[in-house]
Structure 1
Amino acid sequence: MTIQDLADEIGVIPKTIERWITQGKVPYRRHQYATAAALHVDVTTLWDDERNLDTATDLTKAEIAAVYPHRHTVPSGLWREIYGRAERRLDVLVYSGLFLSEDPVFHDLVRAKVAAGVQVRILLGDPDCTAVRQRGIDEGHQIMDGKIRNALVLYRPLMRSHPDVGFRLHDSTLYNSIYRADDEMLVNPHVYGFGAYMAPVMHLRRLPGGGLFDTYAHSIDHTWDKARPITEQDVASITGA
């Protein structure tokens, strides 16, 4: 990003940013947080200011809109509401996320979002990978691979009708299932010995200067970059259907 790019992004003149760089001038706090948000870093990475450390911690706390003790206690319509508000991106990072693949309303929502130009990325675990087998063992049922195959079969019509929907398989060890819509997400941590539906869920909303939301967002991007695209033909091979 050039100095001019950053100036345009945060609403200052380029000479102001040059003084931050060449003269060590410390910006107003609102400009510090705007700059950190534009560069996708924590504000304390750019300026060593004790006031920022306290404020960044407060902002991170403020990013937590709600915490639910179990996934099954999340209001049933919240998943649809969050994804319904997506205008730029819609992400799903899971092993199977079977409850979403079984929801016809979610399928209709995805179709509508793709038609509106929203980027949709759905990441499922590779049913043959070690991480998936281990997660099944950790949850105590050893059928995670089967759940993923079921999800793939359910997504198959969507793959056929809307090839613009991004489907990929990953072999990552997931510590959370993440459901993102623009600057809002639900994070479902994985807890040893429990299925995801029994684990807590955090509802996050991104705030400039807060680091919690961006940490999980980067996890989605990193997993996506490492994952492999999957086609409808791959589904037939994996599921035997």
Structure 2
Amino acid sequence: MPPNERLRVCLEQSGHTAASLAAHVGTDPKTVARWISTGRVPHRRNAHAVARALGTDARELWPSLERRSKRTAAADEDLVAVHRHRSDVSAEQWRDVFAAAERSIDILVYAALFLHEQIPGWNDLLREKAGGGVRVRVLIGDPDCEAVRVRGEEESFGHGIQSRCHLAAMHYRPLTATPGIAVRVHSTTLYNSLYRADDQMYVNTHLYGVNAYGNPLLRLKRTAAGGMFDAYTASMDAVWHTARPLEE
């Protein structure tokens, strides 16, 4: 691809250097240099950040952005961050996301015992949010289902996951009578564990044979209809409709 002369000129006129622009956008100087020398088009989020820093329009710098579909743009913009491991995100960060919820909290997991083990007063937090009008839905795995058994074999965990599902049920059972909180048990193959608070979501991906805490974690924020966030939300809703209530 030809060099992006328009970007080069705007950079020079702005008084920015490649290094200062990179620091402003949150990338590295080599990436900025490639945008100029190779004409590479950055992700839409970065393109708009660069345009704001340079006092111009992103489509002036990268006309091809105009040709991208709205659906693709929404998918790109929904992705806020990628963490190599779920364990890279602290318990405080997890708590802050859910504590900030004002409308809904949705959780789709097999067990996710780290929520109870690492976040003090997890059940109390859910009760407090429900008491404030937040809709809380929790989906945990059926310890007797085939999908949970297979996942245990895949992760060389044996009956460990089944035991963790039993523990999750024990932890959540006291919440089943709380107004605004619904807990259900599902038997689906869990391709991703999903944690949603309003328009924020963590997606814990699952690599074959790797325990959940060691798998990559995506952080999403809903920016437009039809993006990644909505796709994962629809998946969670589909599982909800197949699940049965957790018995008290």
TM-score normalised according to structure 2 size: 0.69
1:190 equivalent in alignment to 2:210: no
Kept in 2: contact 1:64–1:205 (CA 8 A)? yes
Q: Describe the SS at the equivalent of 1:104.
A: coil
Aligned counterpart, 1:101: 116
Deviation per CA, 1:169-196, whole angstroms, max 9, x where unpaired?
A: 0010110000001111000011101000
Fraction of identical pairs, as percent:
45
How far apart are 1:163 and its partner, in Å?
Answer: 5.1
Kept in 1: contact 2:85–2:215 (CA 8 A)? yes
**Root mean square deviation, CA, Å:** 1.7
Alignment of 1:15-26 (within 5 A): none
Distance in 1 between residues matched to 2:162 and 2:67, nearest whole Å: 45
Distance in 2 between residues matched to 1:78 and 1:197, nearest whole Å: 15
How far apart are 1:53 and its partner, in Å?
Answer: 3.7
The residue type equivalent to 2:112 in the other structure is G
1:146 equivalent in alignment to 2:158: no
Alignment of 1:17-36 (within 5 A): none
The residue type equivalent to 1:65 in the other structure is V
Distance in 2 between residues matched to 1:179 and 1:52, nearest whole Å: 33
1:77 equivalent in alignment to 2:89: no
When residues 216 and 90 of structure 1 are mapped into structure 2, their CA distance, relative to the original with a 3 A threshold, is same
1:213 equivalent in alignment to 2:212: no
Kept in 2: contact 1:93–1:178 (CA 8 A)? yes
Kept in 2: contact 1:121–1:167 (CA 8 A)? yes
The residue type equivalent to 2:77 in the other structure is A
The number of aligned residues is 182
How far apart are 1:54 and its partner, in Å?
Answer: 3.8
When residues 231 and 164 of structure 1 are mapped into structure 2, their CA distance, relative to the original with a 3 A threshold, is farther
> Rg larger in 1 or in 2?
2
Q: Describe the SS at the equivalent of 2:82.
A: strand
Aligned counterpart, 1:155: 172
1:127 equivalent in alignment to 2:147: no
Q: Describe the SS at the equivalent of 2:176.
A: helix
Alignment of 1:215-234 (within 5 A): 215-232=231-248
When residues 59 and 129 of structure 1 are mapped into structure 2, their CA distance, relative to the original with a 3 A threshold, is same
Distance in 2 between residues matched to 1:172 and 1:163, nearest whole Å: 26
Distance in 2 between residues matched to 1:56 and 1:172, nearest whole Å: 28
Deviation per CA, 1:93-136, whole angstroms, max 9, x where unpaired?
A: 00111111333332121011110111100000111000000111
The residue type equivalent to 1:198 in the other structure is G
Distance in 2 between residues matched to 1:124 and 1:158, nearest whole Å: 13
The residue type equivalent to 2:206 in the other structure is H
1:88 equivalent in alignment to 2:93: no
Kept in 1: contact 2:130–2:179 (CA 8 A)? no
1:63 to 63, 78, 87: 78
The residue type equivalent to 2:161 in the other structure is M
Distance in 1 between residues matched to 2:199 and 2:115, nearest whole Å: 20
Distance in 2 between residues matched to 1:146 and 1:165, nearest whole Å: 23
Distance in 2 between residues matched to 1:210 and 1:146, nearest whole Å: 37
2:133 to 117, 120, 125: 117
Q: Describe the SS at the equivalent of 1:178.
A: strand
Unpaired runs of 5+ in structure 1? 1-49, 233-241
How far apart are 1:52 and its partner, in Å?
Answer: 6.2
Distance in 2 between residues matched to 1:158 and 1:177, nearest whole Å: 21
Kept in 2: contact 1:63–1:210 (CA 8 A)? no
Aligned counterpart, 1:178: 194
Q: Describe the SS at the equivalent of 1:77.
A: helix
